[in-house]
Copies of this chain bind each other. A is one copy, B any other.
Amino acid sequence: MSTPFIITKASGESETFSLEKLRHSLLKSGASPETTEDIIEELERDFYSGMRSRTLYKKAFSLLRRRYKAQAARYQLKKAIMELGPSGYPFENFVGEIFKAQGYTVEVGVILQGHCVRHEVDVVAENETERILVECKYRNTPGFKCDVKIPLYVHSRFQDIEKEWRKLPGNHHKKIQGWVATNARFSGDAIQYGECVGLQLLGWDYPQSRSLRKWIDEDRLYPLTALTTLSKSEKQRLLEKDYILASELVSSPHCLEILNLTARRKHQIQNEVRQLCGNGD
């Protein structure tokens, strides 16, 4: 919008468009100066001479709403993860998905024979060179911290499984690793112990460089509970059918069939998924 351009007013008259007027409107409605400039820039791409003033404003505010919605959805990520509960199973599926996205073959809820006893392992992620055993700690109450007892018991469990697994032919070349993944936080000594014995800890904000929050955000692996266009009961019905990622509602559109939606709502939901998971915003 570097050059002045002509728009058509509601009355049918033509006039030079006032950039300042639009900017003022957007700022007044609560958009940050940065967001305002982004929206103006995006509008410019679609602008055509003689465009109706009303169409242009509508477009500007729709861009703003969409941006807010996507921002809100990301902001609500922590809450969305909490909504996976009350049981820990959807969270295990979710952790499975984030490993799948990295190219691992994933199994959830596997019984493995250890040297002393059999163990249930929440997620087993495997590729050509690695085998990762993940214990998931899902908490749907805020403020929970995984204390040191969790990495302590996971380490014993991991050692018991590794001892048995090393006996099997063909496993000596593979790296095997224990993980604890949680939507909560770890206590200081839990982190200290995990690092000391070589157990990988993945917490909401830990490790800083690649925390669960960052992992989800960077790979756009939003759970479907992050969507605002689905009701709570619709989310629960999808979770019960083992759907977990927002992106699945676009990549496997048949999964929405269980909800008996109108074409319009289906469209709305898939639009929100694209806004949330796409790279456009």
Give the CA-CA distance A210 to B156 in the complex, in Å: 27
Task: A115-B196, A149-B153 are known; give 11 further A-B pairs, CB within 8 A.
Answer: A116-B193, A116-B196, A116-B197, A117-B148, A117-B193, A117-B196, A119-B148, A152-B156, A152-B160, A153-B153, A156-B197
A155, closest chain B residue (CB): B156
A265 touches B (CB below 8 Å):
no
A74 touches B (CB below 8 Å):
no
Inter-chain contact A152/B157, CB cutoff 8 Å: yes
A116, closest chain B residue (CB): B196
Residues of the B chain whose Cβ atoms lie less than 8 Å from the Cβ of A41: none
Give the CA-CA distance A117 to B50 in the complex, in Å: 71
A54 touches B (CB below 8 Å):
no
A15 touches B (CB below 8 Å):
no
What total of chain A residues lie within 8 Å of the partner, measured CB to CB?
A: 20
Inter-chain contact B148/A189, CB cutoff 8 Å: no
A208 touches B (CB below 8 Å):
no
Give the CA-CA distance A36 to B202 in the complex, in Å: 68
Q: Mark out the residues of chain A between 155 and 185 whose CB falls within 8 Å of any chain B CB in the assembled complex.
A: 155-157, 160
Closest-CB distance, A78 to chain B (whole angstroms):
26
Complex interface bits, A124-140 against B, C-beta within 8 A gives 1, otherwise 0? 00000000000000000
Give the CA-CA distance A155 to B163 in the complex, in Å: 15
Identify 27 residue pairs between A and B in the complex whose beta-carbon atoms are under 8 Å apart, listed by A's number: A115-B196, A116-B192, A116-B193, A116-B196, A116-B197, A117-B148, A117-B189, A117-B192, A117-B193, A117-B196, A118-B189, A119-B148, A149-B149, A149-B153, A150-B153, A152-B152, A152-B153, A152-B154, A152-B156, A152-B157, A152-B160, A153-B153, A153-B156, A155-B156, A156-B156, A156-B197, A160-B193
Closest-CB distance, A111 to chain B (whole angstroms):
12
Give the CA-CA distance A31 to B119 in the complex, in Å: 51
Closest 3 pairs between A and B when the two form their complex, measured CB to CB: A116-B196, A153-B153, A152-B153
Closest-CB distance, A87 to chain B (whole angstroms):
17
Q: Mark out the residues of chain A between 94 and 124 whose CB falls within 8 Å of any chain B CB in the assembled complex.
A: 115-119
A148, closest chain B residue (CB): B117
Residues of the B chain whose Cβ atoms lie less than 8 Å from the Cβ of A196: 115-117
Give the CA-CA distance A154 to B193 in the complex, in Å: 14
Give the CA-CA distance A112 to B277 in the complex, in Å: 49
